[in-house]
Amino acid sequence: MENKQKIIHDIMLLAPVIPVVVVEEVGHAVKLAKALVAGGLPAIEVTLRTPVALEALKAIAEEVEGAFAGAGTVVTPAQIKQVEEAGAKFMVSPGVSENLLDAADDSPLPLLPGTATASEVMRLGERGYGHMKFFPGSLAGGAPYLKALSGPLPDYRFCPTGGVSLANAGEYLGLQNVLCVGGSWVAPKNLVEARDWDGITKIAREAAGLK
């Protein structure tokens, strides 16, 4: 577990933003990932929300040099096996269940589990987790809420996701308990559909420049 926590810690420090991508067409996957990596965002969360998600994850893992492709929206033990086979380097979940945590214990891949309350953080801490996704970040209370958690629970590190944008990412990134943020704003649907890969690289570069 300690080793997996070190791996996820290092992945969270690769860049200030982990893009959350929803791939609708498998033919977009490699180009989208290359555009994000070119903009300075190597860790990419491919959400398991579309029929082609696993195929997209595999293509990015195999073909995009410099990318750290992870699987997002991992909610069942069966999906853990699938994303291992697809070549994911990490997994992200919106929340946790005991079954999911048991399966994650048996997986070589690190999991960034979703949490939104002090009790959830403490439960995950008991299971060996020090790094978590804070979801849905803005609706769960945003940066002031996360700052409040750092008082009684100073040793946990978070990646807020959900409602994060260029406008509010800096507020989160200024907190002592935030290592990076996650968001879909860096891969907007309209630009992906238009295959505007340069446009995506430009947005990624802005995000990569956040402190």
Residues identified as active-site? 45, 133
CB-based burial label for 155 (10 Å; 0-12, 13-18, 19+): exposed
For ligand 3PG, what does the binding mask look like between residues 91 and 130, x meaning CB under 6 A? ----------------------------------------
Closest approach, Cβ 152 to ligand 3PG, in A, equals 25
CA distance 145 to 131: 17
164 makes contact with ligand 3PG (CB under 6 A):
yes
142 makes contact with ligand 3PG (CB under 6 A):
no
**CB closer to ligand 3PG out of 65 and 96:** 96
CA atoms within 13 A on the CB side of 131: 23
79 makes contact with ligand 3PG (CB under 6 A):
no
Is residue 96 classed as helix, strand or coil in its secondary structure?
Answer: coil
Binding ligand 3PG (rule: CB under 6 A), the pick from 131, 184, 197, 208 is 184
Cis peptide before 154 (omega within 30 of 0): no
Site residues (CB under 6 A) for ligand 3PG, limited to 12-41 = 20
Element (DSSP H or E) covering residue 204: helix 197-208
DSSP letters of 124-193? HHHTT--EEEETTTTTTTHHHHHHHHHTT-TT-EEEEBSS--HHHHHHHHTSTTBS-EEESTTS-HHHHH
Interface region with ligand 3PG, contact rule CB under 6 A, candidates 120-128, 147-155, 167-175, 179-187:
179-187
Binding ligand 3PG (rule: CB under 6 A), the pick from 19, 70, 113, 182 is 182
Binding ligand 3PG (rule: CB under 6 A), the pick from 183, 187, 192, 200 is 183
CA distance 88 to 35: 19
Closest approach, Cβ 74 to ligand 3PG, in A, equals 11
**CB closer to ligand 3PG out of 21 and 86:** 21
Give the amino acid at 55.
Answer: E
